[in-house]
Amino acid sequence: MTTAVSVRGLRKQYPDHLAVAGLDLEIAPGEVFSLLGPNGAGKTTTVEILEGHRRRTAGEVTVLGEDPAQAGRAWRARLGIVLQTATHAAELSVAETVRHFAKYYPNPRDPDEVIEKVGLTEKAGARIKALSGGQRRRVDVALGIIGRPELLFLDEPTTGFDPEARRQFWTLISDLAAEGTTILLTTHYLDEAEALADRVAVIARGEIVAQDTPQNLGGRAAAEATVRWTDERGEHVERTAYPTKLVTELSAGGRELGGLTVTRPSLEDIYLDLIGDKA
């Protein structure tokens, strides 16, 4: 298999709205790919079509070698899915829930290890209904990975996570990626996409407006840098394509530059530019 996900000319027409308007996408096996875009851009619709949960209007779609509209249970068992909203039996404990889901898969991970990986060991005996919002989200993630998926769909997985839980989740995703899991991540957190994704695609109004590595998206790496420093005359700000040269000149003779920073546009700056008039 040369691609994990291949999409050509995908369209989804709802009765009164064209949600996906001719979308092309290729995700390589083992890649972490992030879909970014404003509310209503068509991300969830696209992902649901890839998961086989929604019918497309037109276009060609192959996921792990099969058309999701035709594929059966064996194919589904190779996927892990963390939906935007999930509901679980509130009376079951975390451990019971994770063990129960493990039974659906031919080669599941060890439930206790998965519970540990998502940081819920201390809550393993707690009922789902007694968990906080962020803890329930961690259960969703646990259920997404329990079946040892080849391809993992994560739709806004860290909504409601505290900062420590997000960092822990990032480590988990990096570990899964290192094991070869292909991951399609939808997120509104640009730092998350930057930390995790090999490539990102920005969707606006059902179309991809840019796709690249987080470092290069929208010409980011080649954009001018802003150099800031202070001296006895006050604060200075200069924009330059050659910040190393400027800083070398300014610091000639070992002169220390107070408050020196060199910045390029953040992924968020580039993203906001890209969706600008298309949102």
Using the contact rule CB under 6 A, the part of the chain among 34-42, 137-145, 164-172, 268-276 near ligand ATP is 34-42
Chosen residue from 25, 34, 37, 165 binding ligand ATP by CB under 6 A: 37
Q: Is 81 in the site for ligand ATP (CB under 6 A)?
A: no
Q: Is 85 in the site for ligand ATP (CB under 6 A)?
A: no
| Number of shown-chain residues binding ligand ATP (CB under 6 A) | 11
Q: Is 184 in the site for ligand ATP (CB under 6 A)?
A: no
Min dist. Cβ of residue 82 to ligand ATP (A): 13
CA angle, 175 then 177 then 183, to 5°: 130
Q: Is 40 in the site for ligand ATP (CB under 6 A)?
A: yes
CB 83 within 8 A of CB 96: no
CA distance 189 to 161: 12
Nearer to ligand ATP, 44 or 135 (CB): 44
Min dist. Cβ of residue 20 to ligand ATP (A): 7
CA distances from 144 to 11, 122, 238, 261, 275 (A): 27, 20, 48, 41, 30
Determine the residue with CB nearest ligand ATP.
Answer: 44
Chosen residue from 39, 70, 87, 107 binding ligand ATP by CB under 6 A: 39
Nearer to ligand ATP, 15 or 258 (CB): 15
Give the closest residue to 183 by CA, choosing from 167, 199, 164: 199
Helices 163-178 and 133-145 cross at an angle (nearest 10°) of: 10
- Tokens at 94, concatenated: 């975390």
CB 79 within 8 A of CB 153: yes
Residues 6+ apart with CB under 8 A from 173: 32, 154, 183, 185, 196
- Tokens at 60, concatenated: 């060609």
The one-letter code for the residue type at 157 is P
Instruction: Report the DSSP pairing between strands 234-240 and 225-231.
Output: antiparallel
Min dist. Cβ of residue 58 to ligand ATP (A): 16
CA distance 182 to 5: 9
Chosen residue from 17, 129, 239, 245 binding ligand ATP by CB under 6 A: 17
Chosen residue from 7, 10, 32, 45 binding ligand ATP by CB under 6 A: 45
Nearer to ligand ATP, 44 or 62 (CB): 44
Using the contact rule CB under 6 A, the part of the chain among 11-19, 64-72, 109-117, 226-234 near ligand ATP is 11-19
Using the contact rule CB under 6 A, the part of the chain among 41-49, 193-201, 208-216, 221-229 near ligand ATP is 41-49
Chosen residue from 5, 25, 36, 41 binding ligand ATP by CB under 6 A: 41
CA distance 114 to 120: 9
SS3 content of the chain, % helix, strand, coil (to 5): 35, 30, 35
Which residues contact ligand ATP (rule: CB under 6 A)?
14, 17, 19, 37, 39-45
